[in-house]
Chains A and B, each alone.
Chain A
């Protein structure tokens, strides 16, 4: 049961990775990384239950935190680009 859901989450992570590689604009990639982080949190929780070691939940909490943090950092980076007038729209 846990193994099946772990594999399903891995499938989703694969699809997200494809979008992160392809994504024509930077925002697509950012969206993919954010979703990848959320799925990693779920994967850790499920794997923790699969291997009977639920100490991993501290790590899941930290992941959720750093995922949010890095998304915000990238958005601030874009805003600085907008306010300075550099970089064409959606470059990268």
Chain B
């Protein structure tokens, strides 16, 4: 009977994608992309891939929508009519797609335990992970320990993307902000200083949102910490926790103003945190080398290999979480501060 749920979800996905491609109102496309991400995550859950669904939920629906909307505010909201009909391209794509579908008929059935990918490394991970690495969540042990080097690469990619975005866009409002305060750096300004501006004037305009926000933002941060440290036992880990923590800051920035959010979590602090997270990860690897093992070989970190693994995984997940949080909020500041108007 779960097949029925799968079939219905996949058909919704097809319908959504067709409408996204055809519609020319970009705003509607962004809304439908949110629905697309929710549907994909539901499909991941029915396929039992819980960590992936977690990340897809946090990133696809929340952060992607916000960043796409910030980009949309810089341009037209309606796609221009295409100037030519791409029939040749359609033919090429259709032929390639048909060939690929023909190729999938040779694949082993879905979830077949005798297929090639399930017979070598997967068996070793599932059978040996409790004795060699320790955490009950095999996904975490594979990500953080067996494939720790790959995860270091992923964290570096996120860091690089953030640097590239900041290098291209920068924090354009910050200079304006400094001038208004007479040249005093925002970091040393006491938080009680209110920037009196028409758009920043405290008003009863969003009273309900402000109160609800004040109730929930600390709880969301607490939940992010729970996800971070619970990654060993359930779905979670560094990436998801960083994204959820960044969502709390974005919620604050949206309910109150981005300037106030910049006073709380300053861009300088974010730059430091991004670097700190990545250095923590690399530092753990180098520390392992100093203590006599290979790069990112956590067995040498403590008196006993399992304790060493536990400590190593804890530290690198923390590093990944810090970096992801800093980069997400940096991207939000960079995109949300363009072209005047409070975000």
Q: Are A and B co-members of a single complex?
A: yes
Is the CB–CB distance between B31 and A29 below 8 Å?
yes
Binds A, one of B145-153, B250-258, B297-305: B250-258
Contact with B254, one of A40, A65, A76 (Cβ below 8 angstroms): A76
A-B contact count (CB 8 A): 145
A69–B255 CA distance with the chains assembled, in angstroms: 10
Q: How many residues of B contact A (CB 8 A)?
A: 57
In the assembled complex, the CB of A53 is this many whole angstroms from the nearest CB of chain B, namely 7
In the assembled complex, the CB of B70 is this many whole angstroms from the nearest CB of chain A, namely 8
Q: Chain B 227-251 against A: per-residue CB contact (8 Å), 1 yes, 0 no?
A: 1001000111000100010010011
A residues contacting B by CB (< 8 A) are: 3, 6-7, 10, 13-14, 17, 20-21, 26, 29-30, 32-33, 36-37, 40, 43-44, 47-48, 50-51, 53, 55-56, 58-59, 61-63, 65-70, 72-74, 76-77, 80-81, 83-84, 87, 91-92
B residues contacting A by CB (< 8 A) are: 1-2, 4-5, 8-9, 12, 15-16, 19, 25-28, 31-32, 34-35, 38, 41-42, 45-46, 48, 50, 53-54, 57-58, 61-62, 65-66, 69, 72-73, 77, 199, 209, 220, 223, 227, 230, 234-236, 240, 244, 247, 250-251, 254-255, 340-343
Q: List 11 A-B contacts (CB under 8 A).
A: A26-B28, A36-B35, A44-B45, A51-B48, A55-B234, A55-B235, A56-B235, A69-B66, A70-B66, A73-B69, A73-B254
